[in-house]
Amino acid sequence: MTIKSLQQVLSETRVSVAAGRTDEAGGAARSKNPIPIIYPATAEQVTLLPEDSVEQVDSAVALAREAFETGPWPRLSVAHRQKILRDAAMKIREHQGELAVLETLCAGLPFSHLSGRQIPRAAENFDFFADHIGTMAGETFEQEAGFLTLVTREAAGVAALVSPWNAPLALASMQIASCIAFGNTCVVKPSEHAPLAVGRMVELLEQAGVPPGVVNLANGRGNVTGNALVSHPGIDRIAFTGGTATAKAIMNSASANLTPVHLELSGKSANIVFEDADLERAIDGSLINIYSNNGQLCIAGSRILLQRGIAEPFIDQFVERTRKIRVGDPMDPATEVGPLAFEAHMQKVLGYCEIARAEGAEILAGGGRLDELGPGYFVEPTAVLVDNNTLRICQEEVFGPFATIQVFDEAEEAIAIANDSDFGLVGYAWTENLARGLKMQESIRAGTVWLNTPLLRDLRAPFGGFKNSGVGRDGPRQCAGFYTEEKATIMPRKAELLKKMGMD
Ligand code: NAD
């Protein structure tokens, strides 16, 4: 298969790839240490991303603060804010193709998956939170005769929103929509590996009517720009989606200012298939759960656990289908898996293929780089057979198209293996037995359990991880809790009541 060059993609799509700030403070030429943005399918340089310094982060936080303290956004009527959020969703839909190209150029995700699913989801996030703020209500209490207590919510302030590269727009849009819907302002720090679509979305939000200063962009590496942002004393909330190790550093920085954090983190989830499962469905679902999004999925079902009776037919069919996955040009609509997002990440995933061999795992499919696809970062969809959940490849998040397969006998054994992990993001179980499905639902220690279902997210339900997979939850009520401060107001119904209490 030939892979379209960067020039071909740019000339066919006529998308502009200017990166970062265009104001007098920015420009790659003026940035001390610009970051090359590389097209993962060809390893060509797309553009240079100017890195925002500590001072530039400070200015972005100051703009967000001013917009919060004196700007119109927190003071708009709910109906007005809803309209702007819906207009933002519309703008994203109007620019779906352009955003999908930018995302493909940075992250290597298949264009068709982006334009068909992830970009529409980014738009939906704004519509969803527009709808939600229209349903919010306060509380009243009347414990003391003659006195009324009101409980209201108000916006928390300025948020730092830090996001990863594996689904940049889908994840950053969730952070931004859930933050600004309640009247907050923010500084957004996308991943230095995939900043272009998020940067373009921030421009589109302003075009949709989000006032200047409400959503500010800070670009750069985690240890420079990201660190300056999360340790800034002017930040009232930190929402972070990314790796568990980074989250620990962020929580440390946040502790100096007692800044509340919401953390959506890594996973190493079990995908359990029982003998009574609908095998065809379970195989389809298990393939989706590990290889979609180029295998770079926090919710990947990366540890496939098979009950002995179906292990052989499952493995035969799973491996055959894994070998047939169409890996290649992410701009080609027929492509199912594109390149990994950047070279160091590809090396990390290939490193785990070596660790698998060293740990004695049997390589059933893949296990190497697809050199014939040129200099891009293509790795074969890989499946390995293991007999022991303590191996590194079973305990550490590979975050690539890499599945371990392990056989078990009894349900209790599968539950023990599933829960023998530092992570607890999600779990999958495939069974036609309702009681067994419900047993899995209550036994798997994870924030989401999918029964006979691959990767279906319901925005109304909370999403987040147990254990090292997260702190807090996404979701309408949960985000209202995180992004607002509750306030109690107590007042007498009549002035005479104060006289009675001797307080007039
Ligand atoms: P990462 O932790 O390396 O980086 C995430 C973001 O944090 C980037 O923008 C990075 O620049 C920034 N960052 C890094 N160090 C920082 C610091 N010291 N201070 C402030 N910011 C810093 O993660 P990644 O490699 O971009 O993403 C992959 C990880 O994200 C995987 O572990 C995956 O499971 C996880 N993830 C979780 C979810 C979820 O919803 N639970 C969703 C997607 C990805």
Q: What CATH code is carried by the domain that includes residue 424?
A: 3.40.309.10
- Taking the CA of residue 192 as reference, the ligand 1 atom at the shortest distance is 11
Residue with tokens 């047993």: 439
- Is 504 inside a domain boundary? no
341 and 402 in a single domain? The answer is yes
Separation between Cα atoms, residue 24 and residue 306, nearest integer Å: 58
In 190-302 the beta strands, taken as DSSP E runs, fall at: 215-217, 237-241, 261-264, 270-273
Is 241 near ligand 1, meaning CB less than 6 Å away?
A: yes
191 and 156 in a single domain? The answer is yes
- What is residue 28's predicted lDDT score, i.e. its pLDDT? 54
58 and 128 in a single domain? The answer is yes
184 and 304 in a single domain? The answer is no
Q: How far is the CA of 319 from the centre of ligand 1 (A)?
A: 31
Neighbouring residues of 122: CB distance < 8 A, sequence distance ≥ 6:
92, 99, 169, 170, 173, 174, 201
Token couple for 92: 């994203």
CATH of the domain at 101: 3.40.605.10
- Is 167 inside a domain boundary? yes
84 and 185 in a single domain? The answer is yes
Residue type, 163: S
- Is 461 inside a domain boundary? no
Mutation to probe ligand 1, out of 241, 423, 471 (largest number of atoms < 8 A from CB): 241
> In 10 A of CB 241, how many CB atoms?
25
CB–CB of 446/427 below 8 Å? yes
244 and 138 in a single domain? The answer is yes
Separation between Cα atoms, residue 205 and residue 211, nearest integer Å: 9
- Is 499 inside a domain boundary? no
Is 418 near ligand 1, meaning CB less than 6 Å away?
A: no
- Is 457 inside a domain boundary? no
308 and 325 in a single domain? The answer is yes
> In 10 A of CB 246, how many CB atoms?
20
253 and 274 in a single domain? The answer is no
Token couple for 499: 């006289």
Computed on alpha carbons and rounded to an integer, the radius of gyration of the chain in Å comes to 24
- Is 500 inside a domain boundary? no
Is 250 near ligand 1, meaning CB less than 6 Å away?
A: yes
Q: What is the distance in angstroms between the CA of the first residue and the CA of the last residue of the chain?
A: 85
Instruction: Give the residue whose CA is nearest to atom 12 of ligand 1.
Output: 222
CB–CB of 103/197 below 8 Å? yes
Q: How far is the CA of 471 from the centre of ligand 1 (A)?
A: 14
Token couple for 173: 């849009």
Residue with tokens 């496939």: 304
- Is 4 inside a domain boundary? no
Separation between Cα atoms, residue 253 and residue 364, nearest integer Å: 43
Nearest alpha carbon to residue 473 among 225, 126, 178 = 178
Runs of H (alpha helix) within 361-431: 392-395, 411-419
- Is 196 inside a domain boundary? yes
314 and 240 in a single domain? The answer is no
CB–CB of 102/201 below 8 Å? no
Is 399 near ligand 1, meaning CB less than 6 Å away?
A: yes
Domain count, the chain: 2
User: Which residues of the chain, if any, have pLDDT below 70?
Assistant: 1, 19-30, 497, 503-504
- Taking the CA of residue 221 as reference, the ligand 1 atom at the shortest distance is 11
Looking at the annotation, which residues are catalytic? 264, 298
246 and 335 in a single domain? The answer is no
Token couple for 120: 């529409």
Token couple for 218: 């800070």
Cα 68 to chain centroid distance, Å, stands at: 26
Q: How far is the CA of 106 from the centre of ligand 1 (A)?
A: 16
Nearest alpha carbon to residue 402 among 284, 294, 302 = 302
210 and 277 in a single domain? The answer is no
Strands 466-467 and 423-424: antiparallel
116 and 227 in a single domain? The answer is yes
Is 51 near ligand 1, meaning CB less than 6 Å away?
A: no
What range does the domain containing 24 cover? 11-265+473-487
